[in-house]
Amino acid sequence: MKVYQSHEIKNIALLGSKGSGKTTLAEAMLYECGVIKRRGTVEGKNTVSDYFPVEKEYGYSVFSTVFYAEFLGKKLNVIDCPGADDFVGSAITALNVTDTGVIVIDSQYGVEVGTQNIFRTAENLNKPILFAMNQLDGEKADYDNVINQMHETFGNRIVQVQYPLSCGPSFNAMIDVLLMKMYSWSPEGGTPTISEIPESEMEKARELNQKLVEAAAENDETLMEKFFEQGSLTEDEMREGIRKGLITRSIYPVFCVSALRDMGVRRMMEFLGNVVPFVSEMPKPENTAGEKIAPDANGPTSIYCFKTTVEPHIGEVSYFKVMSGTVHQGDDLINVDRGDGRERLAQLFCVCGQIRTPVEELVAGDIGASVKLKDVRTGNTLNTKGCDYHFDFIKYPAPKYQRAI
C-alpha cells in the first residue's frame, strides 16, 4: 500500500441513529472503492462492520468498526459507529480522532433523538458535519418533510447539494445542484447515468444552486467579491468555499443516497475525497500540557491508542492514531501511561473490520492498528525516546445510572 501523507488523509466518522443504515452505507462505500467485490447485508450477517457474534445475533452495531478506502488518490479512514445511545462512547471516541462527521438520516423517520444527540456532540467538538439522507427508496420516505425538520432543528446552515426526483420504491434519480447534472440508476443501482437536468426541474435546480453558491461565497472574501461581481462561481471555487464553510461549521451539506441499492454513494464519496478537509487543514489537537501538536510527519513520533478489542486466535488488537511523526514497523515506543514501559510495534496494519493489511509505516494523521502489545490500554500515549507528548482529550459523559455505595 502507498504511504499516504497528512495532506492526503481524511478521517471520517459515520454517525446516526440506530437503524439509519450506517453499516449498509459502509458496505456500499467499500464496494465502490474496490475493497470488497460483493456487498454484504446486515440480514445476511456478512458485512465488514458488525462482525462480532453479538452484532450478528442482534442485527445492529455494538462496537465501532474502523475501515479505510483508497479513493481519488486519497486515503479515507472511516469509523462506523453504533447508533444506540447505550454505546454512545464509541461515537464520542470516533469524533475525537476523526476530522469530519457524516450523519446518516433515515428519510422515513427524519430527525430522531439520536440524530440530535450525536449532532450536539459533534457541535461541542467543533467538527465539520455533512448529512446523508438514506433510504429514499423506503415506503415511507419523505425528503421534503425531513429537509424541513432539519432546517427547524439545525438552522439555516443546512444546504442541499442534491434532491431526489421522487421518493419511495420509485426512487431512481436525483438532481445534483453542485455539478448541475441529473444522476439516474437502473433498478440494480451501481454506476449512474449522468445527463442534463430536465427543463421541468431547471427552475428548482437553479434556485438551490444559487443558495449553495451564496453559502460557499460567504466563507471567503475573494469569493464573495467575485460572486457580487459575476453572480456565480466556478465548480472549483465552490468546492473551496464549501471546504472552508465545513471547517468553520457554517455549512451542513445534504446528500441523497440509497445505501441498500448503491445509489448516490459514489457521488457522496467524490465529495468526501475532493471537498471535506484533510487532516492537515483541521485545528491542531492539544496535549495535556496545552501545546498544539501539528500532524507533522517529520516531528517526534507519538501515537494515541483510542480503541482496544480482543479477537479470537489473535488476542488484543490496539487501534491508534498517529498524532505526530512517522511510526515504522518494528519501532520501540515508550508508554507514558504505564510506567514508561517499552512496547515494540512488531506489526502495523491498516484495517477493514477483520481484514488487516500489513504496512511498513504510517504518518501523522493516519489511523492504524497493531497486535499483541504487552501492556497498552485504551487512552495510552506511546512516544519515541525523547518525546514527552501526552494526550488525554477524549471526555465521556457521566453515566445515567451508578451503583449505590
DSSP class of 110: -
Q: Looking at the domain assignment, is residue 86 inside a domain?
A: yes
> Counting beta carbons within 10 angstroms of the beta carbon of residue 390, is it exposed (0 to 12), middle (13 to 18) or buried (19 or more)?
middle
Q: How confident is the model at residue 221, as a pLDDT?
A: 80
Q: Could you tell me if 157 and 124 lie in one domain?
A: yes
Q: How confident is the model at residue 120, as a pLDDT?
A: 93
What CA–CA distance (Å, rounded) separates 155 from 329?
A: 47
Q: Looking at the domain assignment, is residue 154 inside a domain?
A: yes
Flag whether pLDDT at 21 surpasses 80: yes
Flag whether pLDDT at 232 surpasses 80: no
Kindly indicate the confidence band of residue 354, based on its pLDDT and cuts at 50, 70 and 90. confident
Question: Hey, is 248 helix, strand or coil?
Answer: coil
Flag whether pLDDT at 53 surpasses 90: no
CATH of the domain at 231: 3.40.50.300
CA dihedral 366, 371, 374, 375 (to 10 degrees): 50
Handedness of CA 133, 137, 141, 143 (dihedral sign): positive
**Assign residue 107 a region: left if phi > 0, alpha if psi is -120 to 50, beta otherwise?**
alpha
- DSSP character string of 47-81: -SSS-SHHHHHHTS-SS-EEEEEEETTEEEEEEEP
Kindly indicate the confidence band of residue 269, based on its pLDDT and cuts at 50, 70 and 90. very high
Expressed as residue numbers, the domain containing 358 is 286-405
Question: Hey, is 396 helix, strand or coil?
Answer: coil
Q: Could you tell me if 256 and 317 lie in one domain?
A: no
Residues near 343 by beta carbon (within 8 Å), at least 6 away in sequence? 332, 333, 334, 335, 373, 374, 375, 376, 382
User: What is the average per-residue pLDDT within 64-86?
Assistant: 92
Where a domain ends, among 251, 281, 311?
A: 281
Total of domains in the chain: 2
Q: Could you tell me if 266 and 290 lie in one domain?
A: no
Q: Looking at the domain assignment, is residue 313 inside a domain?
A: yes
Q: How confident is the model at residue 341, as a pLDDT?
A: 85
Q: Could you tell me if 270 and 303 lie in one domain?
A: no
Q: How confident is the model at residue 184, as a pLDDT?
A: 96
Reference 20, options 116, 121, 145; nearest CA is: 116
Higher pLDDT, 235 or 179: 179
Flag whether pLDDT at 206 surpasses 90: yes
User: What is the average per-residue pLDDT within 204-216?
Assistant: 92
Q: Could you tell me if 277 and 293 lie in one domain?
A: no
Q: Could you tell me if 274 and 295 lie in one domain?
A: no
218, 250 contact by CB (below 8 A): yes
Report CA 249 to chain centroid distance, whole Å: 15
Q: Looking at the domain assignment, is residue 1 inside a domain?
A: no
Reference 122, options 70, 81, 86, 77; nearest CA is: 81
Flag whether pLDDT at 137 surpasses 90: yes
Q: How confident is the model at residue 236, as a pLDDT?
A: 85
What CA–CA distance (Å, rounded) separates 323 from 384?
A: 12
263, 165 contact by CB (below 8 A): no
Q: How confident is the model at residue 128, as a pLDDT?
A: 95
- Computed over every residue of the chain, the mean pLDDT equals 92
Flag whether pLDDT at 181 surpasses 80: yes
What CA–CA distance (Å, rounded) separates 302 from 305?
A: 10
Q: Looking at the domain assignment, is residue 139 inside a domain?
A: yes
Q: Could you tell me if 276 and 372 lie in one domain?
A: no
Question: Looking at 43-52, 152-161, 197-206, which range is the least confident one?
Answer: 43-52
DSSP class of 184: E
What CA–CA distance (Å, rounded) separates 134 from 136?
A: 6
Q: Looking at the domain assignment, is residue 214 inside a domain?
A: yes
Q: Could you tell me if 275 and 334 lie in one domain?
A: no
52, 141 contact by CB (below 8 A): no
User: What is the average per-residue pLDDT within 107-115?
Assistant: 94
Q: Which residues of 114-152 are buried (b: 16+ CB within 10 A; e: fewer)?
A: bbebbbebbeeeebbbbbbbbbbbbeebbbeebbebbee
Q: Looking at the domain assignment, is residue 268 inside a domain?
A: yes
361, 3 contact by CB (below 8 A): yes
Kindly indicate the confidence band of residue 242, based on its pLDDT and cuts at 50, 70 and 90. very high
Q: How confident is the model at residue 333, as a pLDDT?
A: 96
Q: Could you tell me if 235 and 256 lie in one domain?
A: yes
Q: Could you tell me if 274 and 298 lie in one domain?
A: no
Where a domain ends, among 246, 281, 316?
A: 281
Reference 71, options 31, 33, 29, 30; nearest CA is: 33
Q: Could you tell me if 295 and 264 lie in one domain?
A: no
Flag whether pLDDT at 349 surpasses 80: yes
Kindly indicate the confidence band of residue 138, based on its pLDDT and cuts at 50, 70 and 90. very high
What CA–CA distance (Å, rounded) separates 395 from 37?
A: 38
Where a domain ends, among 223, 258, 281?
A: 281
Flag whether pLDDT at 405 surpasses 80: no
User: What is the average per-residue pLDDT within 27-32?
Assistant: 93
Kindly indicate the confidence band of residue 22, based on its pLDDT and cuts at 50, 70 and 90. very high
Q: How confident is the model at residue 144, as a pLDDT?
A: 95
CATH of the domain at 322: 2.40.30.10
Q: Could you tell me if 198 and 301 lie in one domain?
A: no
Amino acid identity at 123: E
